[in-house]
Amino acid sequence: MPKLIEGKISAQGIKCAIVVSRFNDFICQRLLDGAMDALVRHGASDDQITVIKVPGAFEIPSMAKRLALAGRFDCVICLGAVIRGATPHFDHISAQVARGAAAAAYESQIPVSFGVLTCDTIEQAIERAGAKSGNKGWDAAVSALEMVSLLKMLD
Ligand code: INI
């Protein structure tokens, strides 16, 4: 039998930072609700969770990196919604936010999860923020907890 290493999903004793953008607040607030619900249902109390609001998705990676390197959090959960408009703005922001969040994780070695929607339409965003396609905020929170557990197992 090969050795199998799998993370547990528990928020007990875990300090979480959530970076959430204010742009498209109607969607982002639902992603935040989903992430908070996931953390609390997995054992977190309010004092373990710090929520930091940034202006837009473009600002998420720099804040995520700062928090991940601060030494005060076990994981950083990134939440935002980039919705395509009539110009290439969407492409620039969505590429940078994904690359930047990944860089924050690589450079800090702290789990940084990606709950930033990149959608063509507002309907697609609504579907992924608590309607028929689940809640990507919830998913990002659970992924962060799993990675925290996995990294602890490898210590
Ligand atoms: N920010 C978003 O979070 N989502 C968007 O859809 C968006 N669009 O489409 O413009 C957006 N723009 C703002 C951007 O993230 C920065 O806050 C702004 O450019 C200032 O740096």
% of the chain surpassing 70 pLDDT: 100
State the average pLDDT over residues 102-119: 97
d(CA 101, CA 95): 10
Per-residue pLDDT tens for 4-40? 999 999 999 999 999 999 999 999 999 999 999 999 9
CB 102 within 8 A of CB 66: no
Query: Which burial class, exposed, middle or buried, applies to 27 when counting CB atoms under 10 A from its CB (0-12, 13-18, 19+)?
Result: buried
**45: confidence class by pLDDT, cuts 50, 70, 90:** very high
55 Cβ closer than 6 Å to some ligand 1 atom: yes
Q: How far is the CA of 23 from the centre of ligand 1 (A)?
A: 6
Q: How far is the CA of 4 from the centre of ligand 1 (A)?
A: 41
Q: Is 89 a catalytic residue?
A: yes
d(CA 145, CA 122): 28
82 Cβ closer than 6 Å to some ligand 1 atom: yes
State the average pLDDT over residues 92-108: 96
For the chain, give the mean pLDDT.
96
32 Cβ closer than 6 Å to some ligand 1 atom: no
The residue among 88 and 71 whose pLDDT is bigger is 71
